Amino acid sequence: MNNVAIAGATGAVGREFLKLMEARDFPINNLKLLASERSVGKTLEFRGEKINVEELKPNSFKGVDLTFFSAGKSRSKEFMHHAVDAGTVVIDNSSAFRMDPEVPLVVPEINPHMAFKHKGIIANPNCSTIQMVVALYPLHKAATINRVIVSTYQSTSGAGAKGMSELLNQTHAFANNEPLEVSAFPAQIAFNLFPHVDVFLENGYTREEMKMVNETQKIMDAPEMKISATCVRVPVLRAHSEAVWIETEDKLTAQEAREILESSPGIIVKDEPVAGGYPMPWDANETTETYVGRIREDLSHPKGLTFWVVADQLYKGAALNSLQIAEVLAAG
């Protein structure tokens, strides 16, 4: 898989792919950068070389072994079959194929074996789902989780570069007593938050919330697990946070849970009952691990636990998880 393409290369996640592939020394002979027509003529740097951005077209995938898609759901649906027909393996970061029963939905710490069951497409889960399941899975293996309640605190990077820019621009405008422009989000995000990520559905939940329900059940192969989510957008640049409550079949003490998480891949436990003794989004910026803290037994349920999870949305929540899937495939 040495001939690699990135579709959506000029977006927030696309640029993170370049940084991570360089940092992790991912094996590449030829790299093709693909984006919309308006990005043609731009160059991006990779391993000291400037690479021209090409327009994403149906014939872009000839000779490409692996393509990372991060160009949005509609573009994935438009171009995916062209890539697969050309013999390219696609790791798709959009929601287009996540719940397709023929497409594996992979988090390497949990179900790496599923990556080899692809038929040309592997789906990368939703960012808020990824960090939660990394923490849930080892606890589920130890004590069987019956129920999950989660509230997310999702950064503006979840809406891409335009979301991050809007937070910065509104903050600057607020400080200078200027009008605040709202375009990337449904409401002002500077000095505010709102429980509204993605569109509302008929059941009263948002699509983001239902992604967490459906994707968690699929990744963990736990269709009976009961899950309820409330997703909140907060004025943080990058890194999502989550407050998670679980009820288990077998009781786990907080110390047992702490020890299980400390020995689990991809997790760093930061859990001291002092100021700053817990994960925060600012600390998680541009880091590759999922951080867990505030681990405690739930006072309202005899077999309940609650904890706090933080991870970089652009890294583990998007580009890094996709790259880790590719590393699983490369290792064979």
Q: Is 127 a catalytic residue?
A: yes
Q: Is residue 215 exposed (0-12), middle (13-18) or buried (19+ Cβ within 10 Å)? A: buried
Given 118, 127, 140, 231, which residue is catalytic? 127
Strand, coil or helix: 3: strand
* pLDDT of 245: 98
What pLDDT, on the 0 to 100 scale, is given for residue 2?
86
Task: Report residues of the chain scoring pLDDT below 50.
Answer: none
Distance from C-alpha of 81 to C-alpha of 90, rounded to nearest angstrom = 10
Given CA atoms 21, 22, 23, 26 in this order, what sign does their dihedral have? positive
State the catalytic residue, choosing from 118, 140, 231, 240.
240
Q: What confidence score (pLDDT) does residue 1 get?
A: 61
Residue with tokens 């789906």: 123
**What secondary structure does DSSP assign to 170-184, as a single string?**
HHHHHHTT-PPP--S
Is CATH 3.30.420.340 the right assignment for the domain spanning 129-312?
no
Domain coordinates in residue numbering, the chain: 3-125+318-331, 129-312
Single pTM value for the model: 0.96
DSSP result, 32-59: EEEE-GGGTT-EEEETTEEEEEEE--TT
* DSSP per residue, 71-124: S-HHHHHHHHHHHHHTT-EEEE-SSSSTT-TTS-B--TTT-GGGGGG-SSEEEP
Q: Are strands 240-248 and 304-311 parallel, antiparallel or unpaired?
A: antiparallel
Asked if residues 93 and 16 have their Cβ atoms less than 8 Å apart, the reply is no
- In terms of C-beta density within 10 A (0-12 exposed, 13-18 middle, 19 or more buried), how is residue 287 classed? middle
Q: Are strands 304-311 and 290-297 parallel, antiparallel or unpaired?
A: antiparallel
pLDDT reported for residue 248: 98
Amino acid (1-letter code) at residue 36: S
113 flagged as catalytic: no
Q: What's domain 3-125+318-331's superfamily in CATH? A: NAD(P)-binding Rossmann-like Domain (3.40.50.720)
Cα atoms in the 13 Å half-sphere on the side-chain side of 151: 7
pLDDT of residue 298: 97
By C-alpha distance, which of 323, 255, 2, 12 is closest to 155?
A: 12
